[in-house]
Structure 1
């Protein structure tokens, strides 16, 4: 039988490799089209940001955690541990805030065509880039506190002053108030999750109204056709529901890990769940958004030699 440590290391390396390939494919696709002057949708900028955040999240944790699972826990010193964990937290926060931005943007786009919403829809594309930059700045500043709490790996015997989590340890006797630290870290996440839940329910309501209206107006042959707005919204709903599921499961395990005696299986399970959405999301987008495959065909046409 394969030892548990070897199996866990393989799982983390496999998860990281597959996820990074999927995200880099989408990042390359959007970048190539942008720099060659191809017209992109406003939502593609948000999707590019999401793939970048997912790649950062996977690369900053998956490889090192795979090595730690194999028993190589001293591959990082204090500085390396701080950098890796800081990048992981920034990537995780960006993934959450970008998903929140994506859900809100889609809710505005499919809203009713009344004068109030039309004016907002016209202005929204101009706010995407500033919103993306604001997300980066916020999460880079928010997670500076982590640099003050993390240390390199320590002996597990000194459990009263440090908690050891794989390749890093956390100083629990820091001068920073634990309750203040928890508030700073968890409050933005709670706000984003609340907003995502609200916009998701709103989009489901709009889809239901749209479906009922189509049934009343069109014939059966037309009413069963997937309209672009409906397909795009269904894609975002699938992506958001996938994110929410894995995020909540990861948050529950993380809370258990910090509130009880450290157990290795909690750490491995939490890290695995945290990387599931970054690994799956690019393939969800490729499968559910037909425009991505049209982009890919356009890239192949531009790269292939012209034949008469």
Structure 2
């Protein structure tokens, strides 16, 4: 095994372990909070879904990519490849969709009451669950084409007809058909990215105006700490910027790989970039969202009280 592949395998293994741990923590925390009957925010219906789909990204991409980086190339048969690629496509698109829903909802939440978004502020929480359900159904159906083109790692076919992805392969399209399919597949991503960029830009403008108003009003009783809405907005902006940067870098690398014959280290690098957001996002939420430590404290306090009652 080459030195660069060893280094990448260590990075992939570490990234997968860190990402699985962080997303598992969020999933278990929100399930426990829900079962305990604790009052939750509307946005808390989306955060555990984001953690779940990010966990599925590591299950379908992080673990297989790490195994391939360690030299295990033929650990999947054709059926396994179809399942893994379908699961990765659905979870990756859902991760984009849930991040988009979070950013749009937060933009509506912090919008002034005098703006055009004010009418949606009261009704927006009611739309979160239907929006997430629609997102799940859409991508489960939209990605149903994936298994048809995925092949096993070993195929006795013309090498020019097959695009290899380290541990699986995909049948190549050519000409106008390939361009049409690529445009069709990229359209949902373009819509999500457009909504996220628009919502993020709107939130940045609102935060800037709010900051300027605070600078102009010199009242000593004002608390220097940011409001919960401001902290939540900054958290969503950090999530969106992390997603867009890793997404664009991965797209650039993937486009370059489609033009030239890619070495193994470049494929592993593409996989690493694709896993950056799922690995980082839970820790951004844990460190930036003040409500998560409160949930954890409430659960720990409840368990401590329950244990004390039993021992007494």
Q: TM-score, normalised by structure 1?
A: 0.93
Match in the other structure for 2:102: 102
- Could you give the per-residue CA deviations for residues 126-173 of structure 1, whole angstroms, max 9, x where no partner exists? 111111111111111121221111101136994211111100111115
Match in the other structure for 1:18: 18
Match in the other structure for 1:187: 187
Deviation of residue 7 (structure 1)?
Answer: 3.1
Q: Which has the higher relative contact order, 1 or 2, with Cα contacts under 8 A spaced 6 or more apart?
A: 2
Contact 2:8 2:269 in 1 (8 A): no
Structure 1 residues 197 and 35, CA, compared in 2 at 3 Å: closer, same or farther? same
Q: Equivalent residue of 1:160, what SS?
A: helix
5 Å-filtered alignment, 1:206-221, equals 206-219=206-219
- Could you give the per-residue CA deviations for residues 250-274 of structure 1, whole angstroms, max 9, x where no partner exists? 1111111122223323211110011
Deviation of residue 213 (structure 1)?
Answer: 1.7
Q: TM-score, normalised by structure 2?
A: 0.92
Deviation of residue 27 (structure 1)?
Answer: 0.9
Q: Equivalent residue of 2:46, what SS?
A: helix
Match in the other structure for 2:86: 86
Matched, 1:123 2:123: yes
Deviation of residue 174 (structure 1)?
Answer: 8.7
Match in the other structure for 1:238: 238
User: 143-152 or 197-206: which moved more?
Assistant: 143-152
Structure 1 residues 86 and 47, CA, compared in 2 at 3 Å: closer, same or farther? same
Q: Which runs of 5+ in 2 are unaligned?
A: none
Contact 1:215 1:223 in 2 (8 A): no
Q: Distance in 2 between matches of 1:223 and 1:204?
A: 21
Match in the other structure for 2:294: 294
5 Å-filtered alignment, 1:280-291, equals 280-291=280-291
Q: Distance in 2 between matches of 1:262 and 1:156?
A: 20
Q: Distance in 2 between matches of 1:176 and 1:270?
A: 26
Q: Distance in 1 between matches of 2:87 and 2:174?
A: 21
Structure 1 residues 157 and 3, CA, compared in 2 at 3 Å: closer, same or farther? farther
5 Å-filtered alignment, 1:26-41, equals 26-41=26-41
Q: Equivalent residue of 1:143, what SS?
A: helix
What value does the CA root-mean-square deviation take over the aligned residues? 2.2
Q: Equivalent residue of 1:76, what SS?
A: coil
Contact 1:54 1:92 in 2 (8 A): yes
Q: Equivalent residue of 1:163, what SS?
A: strand
Q: Distance in 1 between matches of 2:5 and 2:241?
A: 31
Deviation of residue 116 (structure 1)?
Answer: 5.3
Contact 2:12 2:65 in 1 (8 A): yes
Contact 1:149 1:174 in 2 (8 A): no
Structure 1 residues 223 and 97, CA, compared in 2 at 3 Å: closer, same or farther? same
Match in the other structure for 2:273: 273
Q: Which runs of 5+ in 1 are unaligned?
A: none
- Could you give the per-residue CA deviations for residues 204-259 of structure 1, whole angstroms, max 9, x where no partner exists? 00011111222233425626331222111111111111111111111111111122
Q: Equivalent residue of 1:222, what SS?
A: coil
Aligned residues: 308
